Amino acid sequence: MKKIVILTGAGMSVESGLSTFRGGGGLWDNYPVDMVATPEGYAANPGLVLEFYNKRRSELLNVEPNEGHRLVASLEDNFNVTVVTQNVDDLHERAGSTNVIHLHGELMKACSSREPHNLNYVCTLPSPDSELHIGDKAADGTQLRPYIVWFGEDVPLMCDAIQALDDVDIFVIIGTSLNVYPAAGLLNYVPAGVPIYLIDPNDVNVTRRGVVVIKKGASEGMRVLIDEYLSK
């Protein structure tokens, strides 16, 4: 069974109605990055940060996976699929994908403020009552914080994502500008000769030769990928 690794970004979930962080009208237009997505911002005003992610969680609980998510999940019928996502939502899992690497964390989880990457202190928040408040404690006694990789923090699962590319047969990129590192650097780890497909309605600066560009949104692009390239 051939192995497919799929790298997804915000464009994967935008059809579900989730707000993007970057671009015109993105969340960063209303919330400065340094206030809600850095360890320093959290230290300065933890209440604001908790409320920001409470709102993101509430938004997530009111949307559903789109056709693109479902088509990605359907590939598991014929391929060994690993999804590497920059998204913190759980829409891939809710669509049926069973092997998902979340590079930037998971919105529906919380962790220790002292050791945010220690899995012993990571917990899944209940739904629909998933809000975090000042005073909510992790198992180590520290304040529970969002299980999100903030700017300036290490990306602990990057090694797992790179390892997934060791024996990949097909690499697919969906809905990412390839401007956010280290995730964008995964393209450099794809072995020579492996087919690479990029699905995005916008222009994406790709320096690697031989990338097949499907200039469409996630759902329509996945239909094209499956019908014109993966069904041969």
Long-range Cβ pairs for the range 57-61 (8 Å, 24+) = 57/107, 57/108, 57/125, 57/130, 57/131, 58/130, 58/131, 59/18, 59/19, 60/18, 60/89, 60/90, 60/91, 60/107, 60/108, 61/127, 61/128, 61/130
228: left (phi over 0), alpha (psi -120 to 50) or beta: alpha
Do β-strands 144-148 and 105-112 pair in parallel, antiparallel, or remain unpaired? antiparallel
Give the whole-angstrom CA distance, residue 109 versus residue 148.
Answer: 8
Sheet containing 144-148: give its strands across. Answer: 123-124, 105-112, 144-148
| Domains delineated in the chain | 1-15+67-104+156-232 (3.40.50.1220), 19-62+109-148 (3.30.1600.10)
Contact assessment for residue 12 and residue 174, using Cβ atoms and an 8 Å cutoff: yes
**Three-state DSSP class for residue 5:** strand
Contact assessment for residue 189 and residue 165, using Cβ atoms and an 8 Å cutoff: yes
Dihedrals phi, psi of 212, to nearest 5 degrees: -85, 115
Long-range Cβ pairs for the range 30-37 (8 Å, 24+) = 33/151, 34/151, 37/148, 37/150, 37/151
Q: Is 117 annotated in the active site?
A: no
- The DSSP annotation for 192-203 comes to TT--EEEE-SS-
Contact assessment for residue 110 and residue 122, using Cβ atoms and an 8 Å cutoff: yes
pLDDT tens digits, the chain, 232 residues: what are they?
999 999 999 999 999 988 765 544 444 446 788 899 999 999 999 999 999 999 999 999 999 999 999 999 999 999 999 999 999 999 999 999 999 999 999 999 999 999 999 999 999 999 888 999 999 999 999 999 999 999 999 999 999 999 999 999 999 999 998 887 888 789 999 999 999 999 999 988 888 889 999 999 999 999 999 999 998 7
Token pair of 202 as six digits:
């916008």
The predicted pLDDT at position 230 comes to 94
Give the whole-angstrom CA distance, residue 205 versus residue 139.
Answer: 44
The predicted pLDDT at position 20 comes to 63
pTM of the model: 0.93
Catalytic choice (92, 104, 117, 133): 104
The predicted pLDDT at position 41 comes to 96
